[in-house]
Every structure is written in C-alpha cells, then in structure tokens.
Amino acid sequence: MAELPQPRLWGLWVVLLSAAVLTLGFVAKDLPGFTTNEFTVDQELSRNHDGFLTAVAMLINSVFSPAGGVVIIALTCVFLLVVRKSPVNAVAFGAVSAAGWLSSQFFKAIVERQRPNPALLFDPLAPETGSNSFPSGHVALAVGLAWAVFFLARNTRWARLAAVLGILVPVVVACSRVYVGVHYPSDVIASFLAATAAVVLVAAVWNRYQGSILPRIPLLGRFGPVAPAADSVHS
C-alpha cells in the first residue's frame, strides 16, 4: 500500500461525490413528502421482522458500531504492524478505513437529518433519535473497510474475493440499517458516495506525502522498512 490507486482528476471526483451526497441529503431533508415516502419502507420492514434476519441485523449493529469500528481498525493495524511488520500497510489501512468511516460525521454535521421516529415503527429493534441520520456511520465504516481491504489485497490472489466481499458486505450492512429502522434508504445510499469521496481524497494525499513523512517517524522503523516517496498511481 505504498502507492494507492488514484483516479485521474481525483479532485473533481471528490467534489462531484461530495456534491451528490449534499444534494441527496438536503433533498431528502427538505423536499415535502420525501421522508414520508421513505419511511414507509422502514415501517413495512418493521411489520415483517424475521427471527434469523433480526439476529443478523443486531449482530451487524454491534460489529459495525463506533466501538466495533475502533476495535476492527485497531486490531488490523496492529496485526499489519507487529505480525506482518509492514508499517506502511498498517498506516495506510488505518487512514483509508478511518477516512471512509469519519466521512459520515462530516456530512451528518452539515445535513442534520432527523432519524426515523421509533415510536411509529411496529417493532423498533434499536430505537435511536437525533439529527444524525444522514448518512449512515455503520455503512460508511463498512465501505471504508472494504476499500482498505481491497487496496491491501489488490495485487494478490485474494483480490477478487476482496472485491466481491467489498461490495457484498457494505450492501448487507446497508440493508440491515433500514431493516433495524434507524435509517432511511437514502441515508445508506449516501454513505457509499461519502465514504468513497473520502477514500479518493486520502489516496491522493497519501500518494503525495507518505514517502516524505513516514520515514521520519522513528517508531515505525522498529517494525520494518518504511517505503520511500512514490509517484502517484492512476487507474
């Protein structure tokens, strides 16, 4: 991960993806009837909960929670740093996954959309209130991790599996958040765009600066060689 895939005109991609997130967020929040129509999906799912699906959704609710996200990212970074002795991969994995995840907090603060009202659900599984519905942090975490895992595996025999799981897992997490009743469909859709925008931005910054910054951190050198400056990769 000394070099990360970086699209051409990456800045334009960041702007367009971010604009799409904000447009969707303000339309969902302010357009009359939009939220009401979306909420019918949450209500319909709430009336038809299944024991197995509920168990899976609640497991996802815990695994991809803020605490779960910290544990997943921290343990993976420690594994890459200590066991694999790859400080570059450890820092890059942490930066990419955390950026994708934290992108949700940035857009939440701007849009401030109210969560679905649990009092109007037939079977609220994890009642939450507040103005932090858009976009979903759980889904943003899943997307950030998916990109980080794919970048880590892209030149190995695990690349195809990482790509498949990188699509499948975030989609399952997204569906679970609507199933639980804590997000609207547009919340989870926006998370894919928001997290990807953050990953594109971090990849560009990483390719530009990691070679000059990481070698100056003495602690990283104890675990293995730190990559020199690398040219940007375009894909």
pLDDT, tens digit, for every residue of 67-85? 999 999 999 999 999 999 8
Q: What is the pLDDT of residue 3?
A: 87
- Strand blocks (E) in the chain: 5-6, 233-234
DSSP-assigned letters across all residues of 169-217: HHHHHHHHHHHHTSS-HHHHHHHHHHHHHHHHHHHHHHHHHHHHHGGG-
Per-residue model confidence as pLDDT tens digits over 143-197? 999 999 999 999 899 999 999 999 999 999 999 999 999 999 999 999 999 999 9
pLDDT value at 225 more than 90: no
Please check the confidence at residue 200 and state whether its pLDDT lies above 80. yes
Q: How confident is the model at residue 210 (pLDDT cuts 50, 70, 90)?
A: confident
Phi, psi of 26 (to 5 degrees): -75, -30
Amino acid symbol at 11: G
Report helix angle 185-213 to 159-180, nearest 10: 140
**Amino acid identity for residue 93 in this structure:** F
CA 38 to chain centroid, in Å, comes to: 22
Question: What are the sequence ranges of the domains in the chain?
Answer: 5-211
Burial class for 224, CB neighbours closer than 10 Å (0-12, 13-18, 19+):
middle
- Tell me what percent of the residues of the chain surpass a pLDDT of 70: 90
**Structure token digits, residue 233:** 């990769």
Please report the pLDDT score of residue 227 as a whole number: 61
**pTM above 0.75?**
yes
Measure the CA–CA gap between 95 and 202, rounded to whole angstroms. Answer: 7
61-71 average pLDDT score: 97
Q: Is the peptide bond before 118 cis (omega within 30 degrees of 0)?
A: no
How confident is the model over 118-135, as pLDDT tens digits? 999 999 999 999 999 999
Res 229: pLDDT = 45
**pLDDT tens-digit readout, 19-47:** 999 999 999 999 989 999 999 999 999 99
Hey, what are 124's tokens? 């609220």
Q: Residue 183: which of 129, 110, 144 has the closest Cα?
A: 129
DSSP 225: P
Q: What angle do CA 159, 156, 203 make, to 5 degrees?
A: 70
